[in-house]
Chains A and B, each alone.
Chain A
Amino acid sequence: MLAFIVRRLIGAFLVLIAVSFITYLIFVQIPGGDPAQRIAGRTATDANIADIREKLHLNDPFYEQYWGMMQSLFTGSLKSYASQLDVVDQIKQGIPATFSLCIGAGIIWLGFGILVGVISAVTAGRLSDRVITVLALIGISMPVFWLGLIVRYLFAQDHPFHFMPDGGYIPLTSNPWEWFVHLLMPWFVLAVLFIGFYGRVLRSNVLDTINEDYVRTARAKGLPPRRVLVKHVLRNSLIPIVTLFGLDFAAVLGGSAILTETVFDLKGVGYYAAQSVQSLDLPPIMGVTIYATFFIVLFSVLVDLLYAWLDPRIRPT
């Protein structure tokens, strides 16, 4: 088990290096995106630009530039080309909003996903199952930013029955109630897609498990139906959901919430990334990509470990 963990961690580290290097290559290869020119502004002379190029080490070979950038990223001194602000600081400032959004949405989508999946599996073929199936399909077919726009328009903007506060992020420490109320719409909007997915996955898992021999045995020996459902069926059907949740949660933390953050003006990490991409500001993009990949890689290792713990059959020997 220890060897497995060590191997996974080494692999994760290599992936991080490869990802950062590729991100770097994508942006170094952009023609016409000379950062020195952009920093110097329109009235810059050639000497000015040459100066800035020298200062940012833009004349060094690209592998040295890459190394320099990684060094400054990890010592926290990496600065944005466009605004000269500290990248690590900016990401840190975005983290409370992103984490509040993702954790809340994660709880909602896991809870509702399980609820919806179980109800739909238990009543399979009946009206409630059909209604849930249709709603789940509509949920996974909606562009999340569009849903956000509509929800914001209906409940928070100039409309007869608006009653929700409109966008923005209030820190939890400054006013917990306002924090909660401001995040309600983004939470549900971000969660809708996943509720649809998890409901569908769980429904089919539960229907598969119900036909297993051990479930029949449990019923035959006279256990109450509720106990069979929770202890025998759900326990096993939930294992794949754990994997899904780990990976999806990491993806959302690492930038998939970018659309929700943009629509609701939540100044989180995704919002910062979207802004930096628009001005082609390389250092923040590097920073956010490394940050996001870190979560994706970390969670995929965690999911593997959790999976092995939940399902002894796949435990590595």
Chain B
Amino acid sequence: MAESTTDFTLDSAAALAAEEQGAIEGKSPWLLAWRRLRRNYVALSFLGLFVLIVVICTLAPLYKDYVAHTGPNEGHLGETFTRDGKQVPIVSKGGFVGGEFIAGGIPVGPQLWHAGGRYVFGADTQGRDVAVRLLYGGLTSLKVGIGSALICSLFALVLALLAGYYGGWVDWLIARFFDLIWAFPVLLLAIALGTALSINGFHHFGINVESGSLWIPTLVISYVLIPYVGRPLRGQILSLREKEFIEAATAQGASPLRVMFSELVPNIASSVLVFFTLIIANNILTEAGLSFLGAGVQPPSASWGTLIADGQERIVTAPWLAIIPGIAIVLTVLSLNIFGDGLRDALDPRAKVRIEH
């Protein structure tokens, strides 16, 4: 290792501190980060967009009852609705579209506000309201995305703390565990687990998860992504472990738990927060991919991924079925990615955090 070492003596540190004293005196790192973030309007407005998407999706039941007047799984084959005073079939009987004969029903396209709030984004082949399904599907996608990100970050943090603090064989074991999941083809493992568990659920070790449960994709996604968060965190803790303040805490008789939670965790909290934001984005994409292949969220529950999968076959006659949920995913993931970037820049301008996919 011939890395160039900078001269960093007590004198130069004091000089540096004196230079910046006016600006940083008495400010906590979190306050400083907030001040940096506050000036980043782009990141903040995308945080706003994400919050807006979450709020709109949680209002799905209200939308169902007061605007669309139909549930996410209620089909309306053979029925009509009123547009500009005329009766229009929700799913027409089929016929020629662009010179080609389509045998199945052709659902009605996006109405926006011409039908008094019904079929704002059109209908699907069973006459279900796409807008209602989009909101309920969004709720599912967000639950799985945020839930799996929470579980994944929590497990990764605990494992990284154990590995980094105890070292030795504990570290060896946890590091090998990370290596092992890492070596698996991520998507293949997730698909295999998701399909396997969605047949009869999981009934081992006193844990009972039913086959259609949202817990299955949530847990599968958090499990396969643990090393992506755990590995960098373990690295950070291993280097923090050698710092003097840990030694000081231990010398004062602090218990391992205390060292972990009041000394180590505050030091990596900012990384965990950034990882958390970016991994929600990543997990929403993973969930969509799994559901698209039939190994994620199971019907009749809808998620943005299953909506795109449903729309795939009708992309030519009813393109909105696949296009609209995709736009919802892009907006959500994009807002999280941009906000996550801004958050990282604010918390630690020098950090390099990258979520693998």
Q: Name A's B-contacting residues (CB within 8 A).
A: 15, 18-19, 22-23, 26-27, 29-33, 137-138, 140-146, 149-150, 152-153, 157-159, 193, 197, 201, 204, 247, 251, 254-256, 258-259, 262-263, 273-274, 277-278, 280, 285, 288-289, 292-293, 296-297, 300, 313-314
Given contacts A149-B308, A277-B192, A278-B294, 11 further A-B contacts (CB under 8 A): A26-B196, A33-B200, A140-B337, A141-B333, A143-B292, A149-B315, A150-B326, A153-B315, A254-B185, A255-B188, A258-B293
- Closest B residue to A154 using CB positions: B319
Shortest beta-carbon distance from B356 to chain A in Å: 8
Contact B315 A201 (CB under 8 A): no
**Could you say which of B129-137, B154-162, B255-263, B281-289 contacts chain A?**
B281-289
**Could you say which of B51-59, B86-94, B176-184 contacts chain A?**
B176-184
Q: Name B's A-contacting residues (CB within 8 A).
A: 1-3, 98, 100, 179-180, 183-189, 191-193, 195-196, 199-200, 203-204, 281, 285, 288-289, 292-295, 305, 308, 311-312, 315-316, 319, 322-323, 326, 329-330, 333-334, 337-338, 341, 352, 354, 356-357
Q: How far is the CA of A27 from the CA of B194 in the complex (A)?
A: 11
Determine the chain B residues whose CB is within 8 A of the CB of A247 once the complex forms: 356
Shortest beta-carbon distance from A98 to chain B in Å: 12
- Complex A-B: 5 CB contacts under 8 Å: A15-B179, A18-B180, A26-B193, A149-B311, A258-B191
Q: How far is the CA of A27 from the CA of B341 in the complex (A)?
A: 39
Q: How far is the CA of A304 from the CA of B316 in the complex (A)?
A: 47
Contact B187 A258 (CB under 8 A): yes
Q: A149-B315, A273-B188 are in contact. Are A27 and B98 (CB under 8 A)?
A: no
Shortest beta-carbon distance from A186 to chain B in Å: 16
Shortest beta-carbon distance from A17 to chain B in Å: 11
Q: Which of A278, A296, A314 is within 8 Å of B195, CB to CB? A: A278
Instruction: List the 6 closest A-B pairs by CB distance, nearest first.
Output: A146-B326, A292-B185, A255-B185, A141-B334, A141-B333, A255-B188
Q: A32-B199, A143-B288, A262-B293 are in contact. Are A158 and B183 (CB under 8 A)?
A: no
Contact B295 A143 (CB under 8 A): no
Q: How far is the CA of A33 from the CA of B195 in the complex (A)?
A: 11
Contact A30 B180 (CB under 8 A): no
Q: A137-B334, A153-B319, A255-B185 are in contact. Are A30 and B285 (CB under 8 A)?
A: no
Q: How far is the CA of A226 from the CA of B354 in the complex (A)?
A: 29
Determine the chain B residues whose CB is within 8 A of the CB of A204 once the complex forms: 352
Determine the chain B residues whose CB is within 8 A of the CB of A19 once the complex forms: 180, 183-184
Shortest beta-carbon distance from A92 to chain B in Å: 18
Contact A31 B203 (CB under 8 A): yes
Contact B308 A145 (CB under 8 A): yes
Contact B204 A29 (CB under 8 A): yes
Determine the chain A residues whose CB is within 8 A of the CB of B195 once the complex forms: 277-278, 280
Determine the chain A residues whose CB is within 8 A of the CB of B337 once the complex forms: 137, 140-141
Contact A158 B288 (CB under 8 A): no
Determine the chain A residues whose CB is within 8 A of the CB of B357 once the complex forms: 140, 193, 197
Q: A153-B315, A153-B316, A258-B191 are in contact. Are A297 and B183 (CB under 8 A)?
A: yes
Contact A256 B186 (CB under 8 A): yes
Determine the chain B residues whose CB is within 8 A of the CB of A255 once the complex forms: 185, 187-188
Q: How far is the CA of A289 from the CA of B295 in the complex (A)?
A: 16
Determine the chain B residues whose CB is within 8 A of the CB of A33 once the complex forms: 196, 199-200
Determine the chain B residues whose CB is within 8 A of the CB of A273 once the complex forms: 188, 191
- Closest A residue to B100 using CB positions: A158
Determine the chain A residues whose CB is within 8 A of the CB of B330 once the complex forms: 138, 141-143, 146
- Closest B residue to A145 using CB positions: B292
Contact B185 A296 (CB under 8 A): yes
Shortest beta-carbon distance from A311 to chain B in Å: 11
Determine the chain A residues whose CB is within 8 A of the CB of B186 once the complex forms: 251, 256
Q: How far is the CA of A141 from the CA of B200 in the complex (A)?
A: 33
Q: How far is the CA of A159 from the CA of B323 in the complex (A)?
A: 15
Q: A141-B337, A142-B330 are in contact. Are A285 and B192 (CB under 8 A)?
A: yes
Q: How far is the CA of A18 from the CA of B2 in the complex (A)?
A: 37
Q: How far is the CA of A18 from the CA of B189 in the complex (A)?
A: 14
Q: How far is the CA of A159 from the CA of B330 in the complex (A)?
A: 23
Q: Which of B1, B196, B293, B354 is within 8 Å of A280, CB to CB? A: B196
Determine the chain A residues whose CB is within 8 A of the CB of B184 once the complex forms: 19, 22, 289, 293, 296
- Closest B residue to A28 using CB positions: B196
Q: A29-B204, A313-B2 are in contact. Are A256 and B185 (CB under 8 A)?
A: yes
Q: How far is the CA of A288 from the CA of B191 in the complex (A)?
A: 12
Determine the chain A residues whose CB is within 8 A of the CB of B292 once the complex forms: 143, 145, 259, 262
Q: A138-B334, A158-B100, A258-B188 are in contact. Are A27 and B196 (CB under 8 A)?
A: yes
Q: How far is the CA of A285 from the CA of B190 in the complex (A)?
A: 12
Contact B199 A146 (CB under 8 A): no
- Closest A residue to B304 using CB positions: A143
- Closest A residue to B282 using CB positions: A140
Contact B180 A22 (CB under 8 A): yes
Determine the chain B residues whose CB is within 8 A of the CB of A153 once the complex forms: 315-316, 319, 322
Contact B187 A157 (CB under 8 A): no
Contact A143 B289 (CB under 8 A): yes
Contact A251 B185 (CB under 8 A): yes
Q: How far is the CA of A300 from the CA of B356 in the complex (A)?
A: 15
Contact B322 A259 (CB under 8 A): no
Q: How far is the CA of A258 from the CA of B191 in the complex (A)?
A: 10
Q: How far is the CA of A158 from the CA of B319 in the complex (A)?
A: 11
Q: How far is the CA of A176 from the CA of B66 in the complex (A)?
A: 58
Contact B326 A143 (CB under 8 A): yes
Contact B316 A157 (CB under 8 A): yes
Q: How far is the CA of A280 from the CA of B295 in the complex (A)?
A: 11
- Closest A residue to B329 using CB positions: A143
Q: A22-B180, A157-B315, A254-B188 are in contact. Are A150 and B196 (CB under 8 A)?
A: no
Contact A31 B308 (CB under 8 A): no
Q: A258-B187, A259-B289, A313-B2 are in contact. Are A137 and B329 (CB under 8 A)?
A: no
Contact B200 A32 (CB under 8 A): yes
Q: A140-B337, A313-B1 are in contact. Are A23 and B289 (CB under 8 A)?
A: no
Determine the chain B residues whose CB is within 8 A of the CB of A146 once the complex forms: 288, 308, 322, 326, 329-330
